[in-house]
Amino acid sequence: MERIHVAVRARPLTAEDAGSSPWRVSGNAIALSTQPSIRFEFDRIFGEECRTADVYGARTKHIVDSAVRGFNGTVFAYGQTNSGKTYTMRGSGNEPGIIPLAVHDLFRTIEEHLDREFLLRMSYMEIYNEEINDLLVPEHRKLQIHESIERGIYVAGLREEIVTCPEQVLEFMSFGESHRHIGETNMNVYSSRSHTIFRMVIESREKVDESEAGESCDAVRVSVLNLVDLAGSERAAKTGAEGVRLKEGSHINKSLMTLGTVIKKLSEGIEGQGGHVPYRDSKLTRILQPALGGNANTAIICNITLAQVHADETKSSLQFASRALRVTNCACVNEILTDAALLKRQRKEIEELRAKLRSELEKERISLELEEEKKAKEQRDKRLIEQAKKIENLSSLVLNSERDDRTTVSSKVLESVQEDPPSSTVRHGRNMEMPLHFEELIQESCESSIKHYTDAYSSGSLSCEDDSLPDSHALLHVTSRRKPNTMKKSDQEQLMGLASERIIPQELNDWKYTTQSQENIKACVNGLSARESEAILVIKQLEDQIKLLELEKSSFQNNLDDVLELATQQKASFHEKYEELQQNALVAQEQAKIANEKLSKQEAAYEFLTGIFVETESIAVQMDQSTRSVDNALSFIEELFQNLFMMAKNFTEAKQFVCGDITQFSSVIRDYENISNCLREKLSKLEMEKKILDEQSLDQKDELQRLKSSLESCEKAMEDCNIQNELEKDSILSELLTLQKEVVYLSSSSLMKEKESIRKELDRTKTKLKETENKLKNSIQEKIKLESEKAEAQREIKKLQSQRTLLERDLRKRDSFTVDKRHEQSVKSKELAGIYDQAVQIQEDYGKLEMHAFDMEAEIASLQEALVTTIAEKEEALSRVELLTSAVEDLESRLNSAESETSSLLEETAVLTRKLDASESISKKLEASISSLSREKEDMGIELTDVLLEMESERSTWTAKEKAYLEAKQKLNICNKNNCKLSEDLIKVRQELACCREQYSILEAKMIFSKNDTNEEKYCRETFEESERLLKKERNIDTGVNENELHQQLLSITEERDKLLSEIKYMNSVINESELIQAKATIDELSSRISIVEAKMKNDASAYNKENTKLRMQIRWMQPELDAHRGRLKEAINEMKLMDTKYLEASTKLKKDLSFYCREVLRLKEQLKESQVKAS
């Protein structure tokens, strides 16, 4: 989160204004001298003498550099009119502005990025009177703002030029400036009358060689750099704006006011609280919406003048800038990533994380080893200290035993003193002064034992005159008597500890070596004649060797303890990992169940595949861990044979883990089976819905048949009406003939008055007939127009039907592709085709009904022509009546008496009119039923189209799901095969472990043999000592021979042990290498297969989405045309209804006229009868 960077630049003042300026600048703060409380602080404040390059370097340079790296950037200059905004942004010939500096710097930084390739596009627009104009293409005016998910907020129709050098950009900019709106005001000769936005779109991607094309990431960075020159806020009183300038100023102030309200609301944090920010109130704020509190690095340059005259405007500008300081943006790198690019990037990240994990694990392992070494050293030091204490205790015990022995052997010492007085005197002096050393005590014990042996031999039967030393057995007896049970007990305890801790055969061999060395030393001591110094040196060597052996023994025990501790720790860690894995597996199963219930079918399949991929990765990680544990176990096997059992346990745990994975896979398969069952149930539901639709179609067919029957009844009624009209016509003709006869009969009378009245009535009737004829002609013309419009509507309907047939052909083609995949879908498509054929038949029936309606209209027109002929015949009859006017004039007096009869006739006519009204209502009802049927037909057509579209979408989803299901099945089969391979490998490893155990049992047998050999050696020693007592010379010879033989046996045993160890190491290394190679191969195969499957899935999904989008776009394009045609049809139907109403009105008028004429004829008949009666 970064806030907007705000800088203030003051315009240079004249000498007069500088003296009276109320503003004072101190560092990055500015305040009013008259009101010290009004004080503003900003990121930078540039004085009057600063250069535009300094303003550019403060923040804009960083924004340009970040735009090259993929971050959006926006810089705009704000301030009142005549404050230097355009000069700051454009500059001049001597001092370039921010836009030229940014362009040059942009290309310079692009040249420095050699590892990427760039594409630059520029556009230049202005907002004049709230209308967006393209300055690069002046003809493009009144452009519209749009918003999409891919492009965000953009201006439709704006020209973007591809540029390759800064000179080209500046040429385009100068061309656009020449078309910018500039005006003259009282404050500025060249005043900007519009806001301009200079935009650079920067696209970049990594340069890739052909060899590295597969490993590269296809991510494309797209950033936008906006450099905005705002028009200045102004007051009409100061600028003197009138007319066009006043209108421009009002629009400028309105857009700047909305910008100020947006900044205010953003500074108050209303957008974060869910409030409304009025970006859409102005086109400027709408275009700059991402830069204001969005995904961009934004900088504002507030231009002010420090003159006294413009203090209020400067204060408002500074308030706007201070509010902008509190607005924060969240800029991020804008990258367009495809699915393949995302996969590559994630793979790289996974590899990097794996490398980091390996390095960290190595560090941890090294630290653990160092800690273990420190602990081992500490334990060794402790044991050395303890052994030193034991040695001190032993030495004290030896001293005490020497003192006790001296009292018993004092007489023998006196004899030795007589034989060797100097040495005895020295020793006696030493004994009197201080306790003797350990070495001197051992030497004296040896001398005393030798003397004791000489006395014993002199008292016995043996006659040996040579002065020889006593045997080794006697020396041992003496030393053991001097040190009672100290060394033996310690040795026995150490031997028992080694046996309990299962020491390697090497320790036993070392112990043998130590015993043999002691025997050799004893033999050497026995072989001493008179040189006591040599015996002392031998004893020293023995002590040194004993110390070394004890140190080695302690080191071996430390190693054994460390190994046992490590083994126990590993066992505990393996158990903990196993329990954690079991818990994770249970949690994963529960989460999978919940996800399968919540998620949709497509997402479930995709997430299942991703889950398999994650599980395979976890299996790979666990395999790596198992290989590491195997390596550690093998290293321990090289030291101790007991770790073979630990390895067997690890393999059993791995087997259990694999079994757990198999159970998980089986549960996943069960979930898939449940999903398939659900799909089958949905298929059954769809089949039921299809049956319901079939029943509805049958009902619609029945309704159509009913409509047909009603239409036939209407036709019959129309035929009846025609017959009635013909009968009335015949009756009228017969009445006319009778009238003619009566007129001929009355021609002899001379009633002038009746003639005149009849003439007047005839004139009236003529005028009425002319008016009706005119109305008929107009109605006929309107009817012709309606018929033409109806024909056009039918043509359009036919066009729509042709388009519909084309769409149906496309659908059938797609259905033909899907027929090969699934036979059931072909059956469904056939059923849909049958439904569609039924709909076509319904349309054909509707066309037939329309044709029948046209035929009825033609019959009505023929009836109208018949009426016209009857009217002509009436005119002829009237012409004949004119000849008889003289006779009719006499009958005027008689007409008054006939009025009573006319009233009765009027009542009869009223009854007839009621009947006519009833017939008209019936006809209206029929028309309403026809219109409702037509609407129902249209609704049925729409529903059928919707059903077809839904069935197609469901069909496509079913195909996609089936593909996913088949692919998942294939993956499961592959995983099962891999599990089988792993189980086979485990069986092989177990067999090899069995072989190793057999070898171990063989080695144990050899160890037992070696132990038996040691027992035999002890027995031989005992016999050998007995023989030594009898014969000294023979004992010396036999001891040499036995030592050589034992040494040879030890060498042979050690060689066999080394051979067995080397064979075991070789076998373990071969086993581990083969297992690692097989595991790596399986992991690589699984990862490659998963990547191939994922790529196929993504390709299929993208193709499917593309086809769906194409079809939806086609449907959307066709919908407005269909709506328009439907509207036209509705209008034509309404016009037809109006024409029908007009026709009915005209027919009713004609019927009324006819009834009136009939009444007049009847009246004339009655008058004639009365005249005849009077004449008679």
Angle between helices 532-598 and 643-746 (to 10 degrees): 10
Is beta strand 23-26 parallel, antiparallel or unpaired with respect to 328-329? unpaired
Amino acid at residue number 841: Q
At residue 685, the pLDDT reads 73
Cβ atoms of 981 and 479 within 8 Å: the answer is no
Question: What DSSP assignment string belongs to 1028-1095?
Answer: HHH-HHHHHHHHHHHHHHHHHHHHHHHHHHHHHHHHHHHHHHHHHHHHHHHHHHHHHHHHHHHHHHHH
Confidence of residue 237 (pLDDT cuts 50, 70, 90): low
Q: Which residues are CB-neighbours of 1140 under 8 A, at least 6 positions away?
A: 927
3-state class (DSSP) for residue 232: coil
Residue 743 CA to residue 762 CA, distance in Å, equals 15
The residue among 508, 505, 515 whose CA lies nearest residue 1056 is: 505
80 is in an annotated binding site: yes
Confidence of residue 53 (pLDDT cuts 50, 70, 90): very high
The residue among 422, 424, 458 whose CA lies nearest residue 444 is: 424
| Burial class (CB within 10 angstroms; exposed 0-12, middle 13-18, buried 19+) of 828 | buried
Confidence of residue 342 (pLDDT cuts 50, 70, 90): confident
The residue among 653, 762, 490 whose CA lies nearest residue 989 is: 653
At residue 798, the pLDDT reads 72
Is beta strand 39-41 parallel, antiparallel or unpaired with respect to 29-32? antiparallel
User: What totals of helices (H) and strands (E) does the chain contain, helices first?
Assistant: 26, 19
Residue 219 CA to residue 227 CA, distance in Å, equals 26
At residue 1073, the pLDDT reads 63
**pLDDT above 80: residue 814:** no
H/E stretch holding 10 reads strand 5-11
Q: In this predicted model, what pLDDT tens digit does every residue of 196-231 receive, in sequence order?
A: 999 999 999 888 765 555 555 567 889 999 999 998
At residue 214, the pLDDT reads 54
**pLDDT above 80: residue 129:** yes
Percent of the chain with pLDDT over 70: 48
Question: pLDDT: is 625 or 469 the higher one?
Answer: 625
Q: Which residues are CB-neighbours of 435 under 8 A, at least 6 positions away?
A: 399, 403
**pLDDT above 50: residue 308:** yes
The residue among 468, 473, 470, 514 whose CA lies nearest residue 491 is: 514
Confidence of residue 294 (pLDDT cuts 50, 70, 90): confident
Average pLDDT for residues 6-15, to the nearest whole number?
A: 88
Residue 703 CA to residue 709 CA, distance in Å, equals 10
**pLDDT above 50: residue 489:** no
**pLDDT above 80: residue 372:** yes
Amino acid at residue number 85: K
Q: Which two tokens stand for residue 918?
A: 């009833």
Tell how far CA 300 is from the center of its chain: 36
1014 is in an annotated binding site: no
Is beta strand 297-305 parallel, antiparallel or unpaired with respect to 5-11? parallel
At residue 110, the pLDDT reads 93
**Number of Cβ atoms within 10 Å of the Cβ of 298:** 28
Confidence of residue 504 (pLDDT cuts 50, 70, 90): very low
What Cα–Cα distance (Å) separates residue 120 from each residue in 110, 221, 730? 10, 12, 92
79 is in an annotated binding site: yes
DSSP letter at 241 equals: -
Residue 83 CA to residue 1122 CA, distance in Å, equals 58
* pTM, two decimal places: 0.37
At residue 681, the pLDDT reads 76
**Number of Cβ atoms within 10 Å of the Cβ of 678:** 11
DSSP letter at 279 equals: G
Q: In this predicted model, what pLDDT tens digit does every residue of 701-748 receive, in sequence order?
A: 676 677 667 667 666 766 776 676 667 666 666 766 766 566 556 554
At residue 490, the pLDDT reads 47
Angle of CA points 924, 927, 932, to nearest 5°: 125
At residue 1166, the pLDDT reads 82
Confidence of residue 379 (pLDDT cuts 50, 70, 90): confident
Q: Which residues are CB-neighbours of 733 under 8 A, at least 6 positions away?
A: 870, 873
Query: Mean pLDDT: which of 505-514, 715-724, 1118-1127 is highest?
Result: 1118-1127
Residue 185 CA to residue 235 CA, distance in Å, equals 11
Q: In this predicted model, what pLDDT tens digit does every residue of 629-672 receive, in sequence order?
A: 656 655 665 665 565 556 656 666 666 666 666 666 666 667 65
The residue among 1174, 1101, 658, 525 whose CA lies nearest residue 894 is: 1174
| Burial class (CB within 10 angstroms; exposed 0-12, middle 13-18, buried 19+) of 702 | exposed
What are phi and psi for residue 785, nearest 5 degrees? -60, -45
Q: In this predicted model, what pLDDT tens digit does every residue of 676-709 receive, in sequence order?
A: 677 677 667 767 766 776 676 677 667 667 766 7
Cβ atoms of 1157 and 909 within 8 Å: the answer is no
Class of domain 2-212+226-336: alpha beta
Within a 13 Å sphere around the CA of 335, how many CA atoms are in the beta-carbon half? 14
Amino acid at residue number 821: K
Q: Which residues are CB-neighbours of 145 under 8 A, at least 6 positions away?
A: 132, 153, 154, 155, 156, 283, 286, 287
What Cα–Cα distance (Å) separates residue 1147 from each residue in 585, 736, 905, 916, 1140? 88, 22, 21, 11, 10
**pLDDT above 80: residue 460:** no
| Residue whose structure tokens are 């430390």 | 558
755 is in an annotated binding site: no
Confidence of residue 66 (pLDDT cuts 50, 70, 90): very high
Cβ atoms of 13 and 4 within 8 Å: the answer is no
Q: Which two tokens stand for residue 611?
A: 């889950």
Query: Mean of the per-residue pLDDT values for the chain?
Result: 71
Average pLDDT for residues 583-590, to the nearest whole number?
A: 71
Question: pLDDT: is 577 or 1046 the higher one?
Answer: 577
Q: Which two tokens stand for residue 674?
A: 């449940």
Q: In this predicted model, what pLDDT tens digit does every residue of 352-364 receive, in sequence order?
A: 888 888 888 888 8
Question: What DSSP assignment string belongs to 53-78?
Answer: HHHIIIIIHHHHHHHHTT--EEEEEE
Q: Which residues are CB-neighbours of 1043 under 8 A, at least 6 positions away?
A: 516, 519, 520
- CA torsion sign for 600, 602, 606, 612 is positive
Q: Which residues are CB-neighbours of 1071 under 8 A, at least 6 positions away?
A: 989, 992
830 is in an annotated binding site: no
Residue 980 CA to residue 977 CA, distance in Å, equals 5
Average pLDDT for residues 182-191, to the nearest whole number?
A: 77
Q: Which two tokens stand for residue 321?
A: 């800038």
At residue 391, the pLDDT reads 80
Amino acid at residue number 326: R
At residue 503, the pLDDT reads 42
What Cα–Cα distance (Å) separates residue 976 from each residue in 892, 980, 981, 983, 1080? 119, 6, 9, 10, 17
**pLDDT above 70: residue 471:** no
Within a 13 Å sphere around the CA of 1111, how many CA atoms are in the beta-carbon half? 17
Confidence of residue 292 (pLDDT cuts 50, 70, 90): confident
Tell how far CA 816 is from the center of its chain: 34
At residue 418, the pLDDT reads 45
Query: Mean pLDDT: which of 233-247, 763-777, 853-867 is highest?
Result: 233-247
Cβ atoms of 221 and 70 within 8 Å: the answer is yes
Angle of CA points 419, 423, 426, to nearest 5°: 135
Residue 612 CA to residue 1091 CA, distance in Å, equals 12
Question: pLDDT: is 1053 or 62 the higher one?
Answer: 62
**pLDDT above 70: residue 1005:** no
The residue among 147, 1087, 51 whose CA lies nearest residue 612 is: 1087
The residue among 674, 521, 701 whose CA lies nearest residue 608 is: 674
| Burial class (CB within 10 angstroms; exposed 0-12, middle 13-18, buried 19+) of 758 | buried
**pLDDT above 70: residue 1069:** no
Residue 168 CA to residue 676 CA, distance in Å, equals 63
Question: pLDDT: is 1107 or 1014 the higher one?
Answer: 1107
Helices (H), 409-503: 410-419, 421-433, 438-459, 472-482, 486-500
Domain extents in the chain:
2-212+226-336, 371-572
Tally the residues of the chain: 1176
19 is in an annotated binding site: no
